[in-house]
Amino acid sequence: MDVYKLFERYIDTVPTASVEWIGVRSARFEPLDAVNSVEAVASRGLEGDHRMTKTPGSGRQVTIISREFIQQIEAAVGRSIEPGELRRNIVITGVNLNALRYQRVQIGDAIIEVGALCDPCERMEKTLGPGGFVSMMGYGGYCCKIIQSGRIAIGSSVKILTRQPKLF
């Protein structure tokens, strides 16, 4: 049986997760500012984030990572990591983030489509120390498109909305 058919069988077992942290940055290379809530704007990005000025419809309007992925990276680099160090916009917890790939997901009032892996950049070696880049491979989270505008806040629920026709 292919993985899609198996996922269809077990999709109802994917738990509802929650938002743990939100960050935006006003310009490229700037540190992320933690916020309690943010407005997600369809086809654009998060209010206050520099990606709002990028190409409309981009597949990287918002980036997400899970607390569980961060814990894996922490184990590899041997230290605690603050969410903003990883340069992802939203940290969620309580779900295997890989189960959300290529799915439409409601986060708070917004709907996003989880897409491509958010691969680490070379800055992670400097930020996290030697081995930082390699420690994030496969654990860097995902790039997402905002399908429907809405408010996202710390504590917002994160749940799969629809079964998408393709997983990989």
* Whole-number pLDDT of residue 43: 94
The pLDDT-based confidence of 8 (bands split at 50, 70, 90) is: confident
Question: What are the phi and psi torsion angles at 93 (to 5°)?
Answer: -145, 150
The pLDDT-based confidence of 151 (bands split at 50, 70, 90) is: very high
For residue 58, what are its two tokens? 């981009």
Q: Which pTM does this prediction carry?
A: 0.92
Cα 9 from chain centroid (whole Å): 25
Task: Return the exposure string of 48-64: e unless at least 16 CB atoms fall within 10 Å of the residue's CB, then b.
Answer: ebebeeeeeeeebbbbb
* Whole-number pLDDT of residue 168: 46
* Whole-number pLDDT of residue 50: 92
Cα 156 from chain centroid (whole Å): 14
Q: Which domains does the chain have, with CATH numbers?
A: 3-162 (2.40.33.20)
pLDDT digits (tens, 9 = 90+) for 19-45: 999 999 998 889 999 999 999 999 999
